[in-house]
């Protein structure tokens, strides 16, 4: 299976580039924090220079142009504003990407034109006419059977019947090869049920040639051989995964740093096009496919879909305002199995924050620092190895089982708090003959906290930094609580 040991020595991770029809929401944050956790983990393991984390914004299309006009702005001005909001959100959440790409960048657009020209020249793009059900909101054609009561399942609006001259992509040509690669896990799709879903789609519905351009849509990348057409926005957007690395659109490149991605993260609503159109484009361009597509689920709030009309939308900035950055990262990454839908809500967050962060982790750190200050004059006794096991944390992060990694850490945190209660250092301190035992207990706890901080770092980097800084201080003091109870 695609373990890292048989991959290259570099690690490339991507998020989707986010559609700039509105400001960042909690789903965007979930994907991007997960990518940041993975990138931080691999940087710690193989070095900063060997890891590349790409995110960005998808800014073209008729829908974006219409939204901009409704807002009374030119499209470029509108997308500039939304892209800035995404960058600000990721800075607020301490997300350290290596590159933030925008599809309106000239370098990207030139590369897209060059790539599409190659695909056209080799006969994989041809002039035709297309008729289908088109959802403007998600810029995708829909099959009638995918609709719910005649409406797009993601946007709740009826798609338009669209018929127009279009340049078509020979998607059907690549179906047999792609199905074989997916079945053999050469293109690994996780979790397993998502792979099964895609295999079923290939076998039961197959791939049809698709529209790859729009005529007389101005806000997009113009086809180099026919300026009256602009590229299908997804064809434009997919190539960001390459142009974000500096790719200039040349087909067949085999020396592009970091390519192919070790993992591409996304939500389940865009899996099908990432498992069909995207790898077919790569085959047309004679480029290697991504190693893995990992698909996470959706959040619902107290059993209901997030909706402005219902009034249950949870914004990333609201979480940070209430809980702080690291606590928000923890609450989202521990909310559910990564790959499954999760039910969240303010009451659940409050309960988990108090139980896991204030009472458990925060209490443990406070107790240990306080006892070292009180019983050891602020100096850690002779170093020992931690008696608490964190060996499985790395393995769970590598397979993107983020909640399992956190559960493994919190199990040991609970054991460490119990260890304090069982050994009662405050009692040992009363007896001079127990000094060695007291110092061993506190040394064990300090060693555990340092190991724990290293494991926590990808998830809660500031918290890890505070723990390490406190224990490496010339004189250890209890200091301020890590997390105040709500």
The pLDDT of 149-155, averaged and rounded, is 73
Catalytic, 135? Answer: yes
Instruction: For CA atoms 60, 64, 66, 71, give the dihedral sign.
Output: negative
Closest CA to 254 of 293, 278, 285: 285
pLDDT number for residue 147:
79
Of 87, 152, 190, 455, the active-site residue reads: 152
Beta bridge partners of 267: 296
376 belongs to the catalytic site: no
Which two tokens mark 33? 């924090």
404-434 per-position pLDDT tens digit = 999 999 999 999 999 999 999 999 999 999 9
3 state SS of 294: strand
Beta bridge partners of 89: none
Helix (H) or strand (E) holding 219: none
Residue 354 has pLDDT above 80, yes or no: yes
Question: Angle 49-292-98 (CA atoms, 0-180°, nearest 5)?
Answer: 30
Res 4: pLDDT: 37
pLDDT digits (tens, 9 = 90+) for 263-290: 999 999 999 999 999 999 999 999 999 9
Read out DSSP for 65-76? Answer: HHHHHHTTS-HH
The predicted structure's pLDDT at residue 309: 59
- In 263-318 the beta strands, taken as DSSP E runs, fall at 263-267, 292-296, 299-301, 304-305
Segments in 26-105 forming alpha helices (H): 26-46, 62-70, 75-92
| pLDDT mean over 246-274 | 94
Structure tokens at 197: 């879903």
| pLDDT value of residue 402 | 97
DSSP of 109-171: HHHHHHHHHHHHHTTSEEEEEEEEEEETTTTEEE-GGG-BTTB-TTT-SPPEEEEEEEEEE-G
Determine the distance from the C-alpha atom of residue 281 to the mean position of all C-alpha atoms in its chain, rounded to a whole number. Answer: 23
Calculate mean pLDDT across residues 56-71. 93
- CATH class of the domain comprising 320-334+344-471: mainly alpha
Report how far apart the first and last C-alpha atoms of the chain are (Å, whole number): 44
Residue 139 pLDDT:
65
- List pLDDT tens digits, range 165-203: 999 999 999 999 999 999 999 999 999 999 999 999 999
**Structure confidence at residue 390 (pLDDT):** 94
Residue 351 contacts by C-beta under 8 Å, 6 or more apart in sequence?
Answer: none
* DSSP-based three-state secondary structure for 215: strand
Across all residues in the chain, what is the average pLDDT?
92
259 burial (CB, 10 Å; 0-12 / 13-18 / 19+) is: buried
Say whether pLDDT at 249 is over 50: yes
2 pLDDT higher than 60: no
Residue 152 is among the residues annotated as catalytic for this protein: yes
**φ, ψ dihedrals at 230, nearest 5°:** -115, 155
Catalytic residue status for 229: no
Catalytic residue among 25, 110, 173, 415: 25
Q: Are strands 263-267 and 292-296 parallel, antiparallel or unpaired?
A: parallel
Percent of the chain with pLDDT over 70: 95
Q: Please give the CATH superfamily to which domain 4-296 belongs.
A: HUPs (3.40.50.620)
255 catalytically annotated: no
**Greatest mean pLDDT range, 108-122, 154-168, 212-226:** 108-122
Does 301 or 113 have the greater pLDDT score? Answer: 113
β-bridge partners, 226: 223
At 453 the pLDDT is 97
Catalytic residue among 155, 203, 321, 379: 155
Q: Where are the domains of the chain?
A: 4-296, 320-334+344-471
Arithmetic mean of pLDDT, 32-49: 97
Q: What 3-state DSSP class applies to 43?
A: helix
From the candidates 60, 108, 118, 138, give the one annotated as an active-site residue: 138
Q: Is the pLDDT of residue 136 over 90?
A: no
| C-alpha to C-alpha distance for 66 and 78, rounded to whole angstroms | 11
* Comparison of pLDDT for 172 and 217, the residue scoring more: 172
Q: Give burial (CB, 10 Å; 0-12/13-18/19+) of 9.
A: exposed
Average pLDDT of the segment spanning 382-398? 91
How far is the CA of 282 from the CAs of 150, 278, 482, in angstroms? 33, 7, 47
State the pLDDT at residue 306: 65
Q: What is the pLDDT of residues 460-484, one digit of tens each?
A: 999 999 999 999 988 999 889 999 9
How much is the average pLDDT of 245-271?
94
Q: Which of 203, 215, 304, 305 is catalytic?
A: 305
Which of residues 23 and 420 earns the better pLDDT score?
420
Q: Is 305 marked active-site?
A: yes
User: Catalytic residue among 60, 87, 135, 222, which?
Assistant: 135
* pLDDT score for 140: 67
Distance in angstroms (rounded) separating the CA atoms of residues 79 and 59: 6
Residue 161 confidence (pLDDT)? 73
pLDDT > 80? residue 138:
no
């Amino acid at each position: 299976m695609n373990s890292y040991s048989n991959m290259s020595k570099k690690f490339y991770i991507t998020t989707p580039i986010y559609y700039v029809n509105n400001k960042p929401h909690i789903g965007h944050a979930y994907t991007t924090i997960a990518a940041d956790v993975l990138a931080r983990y691999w940087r710690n393991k193989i070095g900063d220079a060997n890891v590349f984390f790409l995110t960005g914004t998808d800014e073209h299309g008729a829908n974006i142009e219409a939204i901009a006009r409704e807002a009374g702005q030119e499209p470029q001005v509108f997308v500039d504003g939304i892209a800035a909001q995404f960058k600000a959100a990721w800075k607020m959440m301490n997300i350290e990407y290596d590159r933030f790409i925008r599809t309106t960048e000239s370098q990207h657009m030139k590369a897209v034109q060059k790539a599409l020209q190659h695909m056209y020249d080799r006969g994989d793009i041809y002039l035709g006419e297309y008729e289908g059900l088109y959802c403007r909101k998600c810029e995708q054609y829909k099959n009638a059977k995918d609709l719910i009561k005649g409406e797009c399942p993601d946007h709740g609006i009826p798609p338009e019947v669209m018929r127009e001259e279009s340049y078509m992509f020979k998607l059907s040509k690549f179906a047999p090869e792609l199905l074989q690669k997916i079945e053999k896990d050469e293109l690994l799709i996780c979790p397993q049920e998502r792979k099964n879903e895609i295999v079923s789609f290939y076998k039961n519905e197959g791939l049809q040639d698709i529209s790859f351009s729009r005529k007389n849509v101005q806000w997009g990348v113009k086809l180099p051989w026919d300026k009256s057409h602009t590229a299908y926005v997804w064809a434009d957007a997919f190539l960001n995964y390459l142009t974000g690395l500096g790719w200039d659109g040349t087909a067949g490149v085999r020396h592009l740093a970091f390519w192919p991605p070790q993992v591409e993260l996304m939500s389940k609503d865009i899996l099908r096009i990432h498992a069909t159109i995207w790898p077919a484009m790569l085959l047309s361009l004679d480029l290697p496919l991504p190693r893995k597509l990992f698909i996470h689920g959706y959040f619902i709030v107290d059993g209901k879909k997030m909706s402005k009309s219902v009034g249950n939308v949870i914004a990333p900035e609201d979480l940070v305002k209430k809980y702080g950055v690291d606590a928000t990262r923890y609450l989202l990454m521990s909310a559910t199995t990564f790959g499954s839908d999760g039910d969240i809500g303010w009451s659940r967050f409050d309960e988990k924050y108090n139980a896991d962060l204030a009472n458990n982790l925060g209490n443990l750190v406070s107790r240990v620092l306080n006892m070292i200050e009180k019983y050891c004059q602020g100096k850690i006794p002779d170093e020992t190895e931690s008696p608490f096991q964190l060996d499985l944390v790395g393995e769970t992060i590598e397979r993107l089982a983020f909640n399992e990694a956190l559960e493994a850490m919190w199990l040991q945190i609970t054991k460490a708090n119990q260890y304090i209660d069982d050994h009662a250092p405050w009692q040992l301190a009363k007896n001079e003959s127990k000094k060695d035992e007291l110092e061993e207990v506190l040394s064990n706890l300090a060693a555990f906290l340092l190991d724990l901080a290293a494991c926590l770092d990808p998830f809660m980097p500031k918290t890890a930094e505070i723990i390490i800084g406190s224990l490496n201080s010339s004189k250890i003091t209890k200091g301020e609580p890590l997390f105040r109870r709500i």
